[in-house]
Amino acid sequence: MTTVAVKPATMAQALGRALRDAMADDPAVHVMGEDVGALGGVFRVTDGLAKEFGEDRVTDTPLAEAGILGTAVGMAMYGLRPVVEMQFDAFAYPAFEQLISHVAKMRNRTRGAMPLPLTVRVPYGGGIGGVEHHSDSSEAYYMATPGLHVVTPATVADAYGLLREAIASDDPVVFLEPKRLYWSKDSWNPDEPRSVEPIGRAVVRRQGRSATLITYGPSVPVCLEAADAARAEGWDLEVVDLRSLVPFDDETVSASVRRTGRAVVVHESSGYGGPGGEIAARVTERCFHHLEAPVLRVAGFDIPYPPPMLERHHLPGVDRILDAVARLQWEAQS
């Protein structure tokens, strides 16, 4: 048995590799967006693609998000599989009308005759010291729109696998890329990309018995760190990485909460009207008799994303998660 030398790769590299492999496998796949060509994207995810596949398939578009997504809709109507880059979370807002009125609805409006198999890549979230409009977590908006799938990787292998799945999907997918994990490394062999669980499956990243941390994207490593720290307090925490917000994997989440009896939802987007409310409600509806305490949320504050020098106070960190875990000792409190 030979051992493959596995080099660490970054999430950005894995995403680029996924785009490359998808384009090589299917001539219908086109990459488009602002700066995706010669520059390789501001995060270098599309590095080298224009050289390999040419400008017709890797297109630097004019700077106009509604135009980028709107023309991608037309291209998908003609049988292509566009992969659109939105550069930064808040830059995607001008394209919302196209996304919500057309991308999400075209299959439904045409009773299945005109599906739009396109992928919208949105680098999202904070923690990289970006100035305003560069750190939003906009997943709640996408989750609230029927017709879209919404996924977000937390590991290098998932970045590759989920993006391949998203591009191959016949449904439009909003692919949220956690900016602050772009440079995170994993031992991942780019020449033997691991197959991953399909879109719609959550994964237990760490097994535990005393409570479940339900999280996704940029908060997954934070929760794993919190779980390590919690061991000292006598808490054995399970960490569930959702990977996919739509579809939502009730089965994996409920099974975990039934085992542990306690749950905290952790995400960095605002809590009010945020994904945590939906997740907590679903968990409560399904696991009420197994719960020893209310499902708690640790989320970003309900404020516009703060300036970079203050963002560490806004983002849910290990301490805030541990505080919530402590509050799960409900019986003692009440």
Partner 1 sequence: MTVMEQRGAYRPTPPPAWQPRTDPAPLLPDALPHRVLGTRAAERVDPELLRRLYAELVRGRRYNAQATALTKQGRLAVYPSSTGQEACEVAAALVLEERDWLFPSYRDTLAAVARGLDPVEALTLLRGDRHTGYDPYEHRIAPLCTPLATQLPHAVGLAHAARLKGDDVVALALVGDGGTSEGDFHEALNFAAVWQAPVVFLVQNNGFAISVPLAKQTAAPSLAHKAVGYGMPGRLVDGNDAAAVHEVLGEAIAHARAGLGPTLVEAVTYRMEAHTNADDDKRYRDDAEVEAWRAHDPIALLERELTERGLLDEDGIRAVREDADVMAADLRERMNQDPVLDPMDLFAHVYARPTTHLLEQEAQLRAELDAEARHHEYDENDEHDPEGNTR
Q: Kindly list the catalytic residues.
A: 134
What proportions of the chain, in percent to the nearest 5, are helix, strand and coil? Answer: 40, 20, 40
Is the distance from CB of 237 to CB of 230 less than 8 angstroms? yes
- Does residue 184 sit in helix, strand or coil? coil
Largest CA distance in the chain: 65
> How many CB atoms sit inside 10 A of residue 185's CB?
14
Report the half-sphere exposure of 53 (CA within 13 A, side-chain side).
27
The count of residues in the chain is: 334
Cα–Cα distances (Å) from 291 to 24, 119, 147, 280, 319, in that order, read 49, 38, 32, 12, 23
Q: DSSP character for 103?
A: I
d(CA 50, CA 60): 9
Query: Is 86 in contact with 95 (CB distance < 8 Å)?
Result: yes
- Residue of 271, 270, 272 lying closest to 304 (CA atoms): 270
Peptide bond preceding 115 in cis form (omega within 30 of 0): no
Q: Who contacts 169 (Cβ-Cβ below 8 Å, separation ≥6)? A: 117, 119, 149, 199
Residue 147 and residue 50: Cα distance in Å, rounded? 31
Q: Which amino acid is at 245?
A: L
State the residues that interact with partner 1 by CB under 8 A: 56, 61-62, 64, 66-67, 69-80, 94, 97-98, 101-102, 105-115, 146-147, 149, 169-171, 200, 246-251
C-beta of 46 vs 71, nearer to partner 1: 71
**Bond before 247 cis per omega within 30 degrees:** yes
